[in-house]
Structure formats: structure tokens, C-alpha cells
Amino acid sequence: MSQFRNIVKKAVVIGLCICTFSVQVSGATPWSSANGIFYDGNGNEIKGAIAKGIDVSYHNGDIDWAKVKAAGISFALLRCGYGNDERNQDDIKFVQNVKGCEDNGIQYGVYLYSYAVDNDKEKTLGDMARSEAEHVLRMIEEAGAKPTMPVYYDIEDKSQVGMTTKQYGDMAEIFCNIVKNAGYKVGVYSNYYWWTNRLTDSRFDNWGKWVARYNNTSEYNKEYDIWQYTESGTVDGVGSGMDVNILLSRPCSITGHQYEFYQLVSKSTTTINGKATYKCKTCGHIKTTDIAKISQITISKTKYEYTGKAFKPTVTVKDSNGQVISTQNYNIIYSSNKKVGNGTVKIVFKGNYSGTITKIFKIVPKKVSLTKATNIKGKKVKLGWKKVSGISGYEIQYGINKSFKKAKTTTAKSSLKTKTIKKLKNKKKYYFRMRAYKKVSGTKVYGVYSSKKTVKITK
């Protein structure tokens, strides 16, 4: 951040924790959020993200905090001032911004921009850090503020370049200890370069970390609490040129949330999506996700040949995303699945799904084994077959076209095993086939045709 913008900002954030369906959903709108998931500039889920916020100072003018909240902003970091505890270095909008956040239910933290250096002619580095801590505490007290997020120490001014990593750690430790002992959470703000090249003392791991990195991805490889991803955002109620931040669950900021099922909100049906919440088992962050509606129900077989045994076709259920729905989410009830006729499969949904669907399959008579077709005197053919039990009769088809186009049809009683076909034409080749049928509720249910027999009429 430039010195001007530094004077304008930073300082405190929290320890909220809320978390999801892990890993991410690619292809989302960059910098958008939905159902508790926040996306970076590449449209990928931000690891450990739980809320979006802004940081402000008097440079942002009068803020309409009701509009800010309506814009989806969950938290704010309010600058209280800069440098030593001198009233001419107070942020003149701090009290107003505290009231705006409290009146609109926006949680907030505080930050102070540091000018503490090791080469001041009148004060030591330690004295300046103490004075800056006292500055923050005075401002909080005078504003009657009750920040729920940390007080952040903004270390990044160009006048501080050149100090040792130990000196940075010393000044931060003095500031943070004083503020912490006063009962507030504490943290440090700086930009990515400073965090990776200057603020590397191990003591910085003891405090909250607020990292500025204006990029599509953060790429900071240590646990941290807030990512300031832009200084040119636009937020309703404030305007353009805004610092916008993502609040993270610190333990999930590297690994991402580890979600497990938490609660069913509404069940999915064949017409509407359901909803469920998932909770991060590490930090407790909750996300909401759609349960895709039931889209496709198929059975493994729609036609069976009667055997006297019950048939149970396998059921496969898929959602509108093409994913197979687990059998734990439905019961299967078979009926009329043994005798010739229509068998039924009733799928009764449970768990994350609701509704009942019925699928029908056919059970047809056993295939007839046509064993012989013999030309006998008088331009006749005698057919013989193996008797099929449990049927109403047989249908016999014959003709001179091997595809049975314009074929003639006759029937035979169920008790018969032979039949003679008469009035055939001499020297013609005939094709024969037959099938069994059974009457069910007044309708004939046919089995499959037998293999065909071929006979040339010579007698």
C-alpha cells in the first residue's frame, strides 16, 4: 500500500470461525460468494474463507453503513489514527464509524498505522511503540467501542525500512502485549513483501496476521487471518477505491476447510433441488449446498421370460448432475414380479430425498421351442413343439417371406403340442415361427418368437 493509503487504513480483525463441501468449485464468477463459499480472482474457492469485509478511515468520508451491510459486507476494520498518542493524529471519522458498525450489526476491529522507528531523536523505538498502543486504547475508550475483532498494528511505512527483523519483532511485541493486556485481541498488518522479507521474526506467529496481496490469489504460505485482496474495490455505501478483505479461519487458511455433512435443510425431489449444510470439522464454518434434484431412474431390465421365480431388476437413480444417488437414500419394493404380466418396482425415497416413483417391467411367457416342421401329403406342414405350461395358448405365424412380411397367423390351444397348417402352395418355401401368450386382465401378453423353421412344399 502506498504511504497515503497506509495512513488511511488498517488494524484489527478477529477470530471468527465458520467453514464446507471442501475443495472447490471451479468456474465461479471471480471475487463472488455464494452459500458460504468465497471465490478468488480465478473463480476458485479461497481456502479457509468465511466472510468479506472492508477497512476504512476518514479518507472514505461519510459512510452509509446500512448500505454496506446490504452489500454483503460482514465486518469492517476501522482506523483509529496513526503514530504516537497525539490528538492531531486521531482519525476524525473513527467514532462515527464505530457507531455505524454497531447500529447496523457489523462486527469490527481497529487498526493504527505505525510510524515507530529506531532513529527518532527524542524517543526510542520501544517508547514509540508504547505511545502507539496507548493511542489505540485511548481512542477505543473515548469512542466507547467494543470491537469483537482484533486490534491490528499496521507496520509498513517507508520510514521503517532498514530495521532488523528483531527490531520489528520488538516493537510489535511491545504494542501487542499492551493492547492484549487491556483485554483485546491483537494482530499485525502488512503487505506480502514485508511479511515474506521483513516481518519474519518467529514472534509474529503469536499474533493475528492481516496480509495485503493485490493479486488473483494470495500465495502466502503461512497461516493467516485476513487477506486484503484489492485497494480498488467498489462497495455500495462507500464508493470506489475501497480496500476489500477476506476473513479466514486461520487453521484452514493453508489446507482449506474440511467439510462434513451437518444438517438437511430441505429434501430434493424430482422437480426441485434440496439444500443441506456442511460444517468444517476444523473451524466450524458452515456452507450451504444444493442437493441436485432426482433426474433419471432406470431399471436394469424391462422384459423377462417367465421362469416361475421372482424377478428383481436393479435400480439406478441419478441426479440432475448425472451423479448416481446412493441406495441409502431410497427403498425398493417389488410386486407382481413372478407371474406373467406387468411387474412393478416402487422406489420410495428417504434421507436427503422425498417422493415415490413406480417403474414397470414385463414378464412374458416362456419362449416356445419349435422342434419340427414337416411337409406332409396334401400341401400341408405339421408343426411340433415342446409344451409351455401356465399359458392361454399359442400364436403361429407362417409365410413365404423370411422376414414374415404379409405372413398369416393362426392359433393353437395351450393343451396342444402339434398343429397342421393346410392349403399351402406347391413348390414354395415356407417359414414358420410361433410364440406363447397368456391373457392377463383381458389382454394377451405375448412371449418372444421361437426360432424359425423352413419347409419346401413338395407333396
Interatomic CA distance for residues 216 and 213, integer angstroms? 9
Per-residue pLDDT of the chain (459 residues; tens, 9 = 90+): 443 344 333 333 333 333 333 333 446 899 999 999 999 999 999 999 999 999 999 999 999 999 999 999 999 999 999 999 999 999 999 999 999 999 999 999 999 999 999 999 999 999 999 999 999 999 999 999 999 999 999 999 999 999 999 999 999 999 999 999 999 999 999 999 999 999 999 999 999 999 999 999 999 999 999 999 999 999 999 999 999 999 999 999 999 999 999 999 999 999 999 999 999 999 999 999 999 999 999 999 999 999 999 999 999 999 999 999 999 999 999 999 999 999 999 999 999 999 999 999 999 999 999 999 999 999 999 999 999 999 999 999 999 999 999 999 999 999 999 999 999 999 999 999 999 999 999 999 999 999 999 999 999
- Where among 327, 347, 364 does a domain terminate? 364
Please indicate, yes or no, if residue 200 is contained in any of the structural domains: yes
Q: Do 337 and 321 lie in a common domain?
A: yes
Please give the model's pTM, rounded to 2 decimal places.
0.73
- Where among 316, 340, 364 does a domain terminate? 364
Q: Do 235 and 379 lie in a common domain?
A: no
Please indicate, yes or no, if residue 32 is contained in any of the structural domains: yes
Q: Do 155 and 67 lie in a common domain?
A: yes
Please indicate, yes or no, if residue 212 is contained in any of the structural domains: yes
Q: Do 223 and 84 lie in a common domain?
A: yes
CATH number reported for the structural domain that contains residue 151 in this entry: 3.20.20.80
The continuous run of DSSP H or E covering 344 comes out as: strand 341-349
CB 250 within 8 A of CB 14: no
Q: Do 169 and 190 lie in a common domain?
A: yes
Please give the full DSSP string across 287-311, using - where no structure is assigned: EEEEEPPEEEEEES-SEEE--SS--
- Where among 252, 277, 304 does a domain terminate? 252
CATH number reported for the structural domain that contains residue 359 in this entry: 2.60.40
Q: Do 344 and 425 lie in a common domain?
A: no
Q: Do 153 and 300 lie in a common domain?
A: no
Q: For residue 299, what are the domain limits? A: 294-364
Residue 179: is it exposed, middle or buried by C-beta count within 10 angstroms (0-12/13-18/19+)? Answer: buried
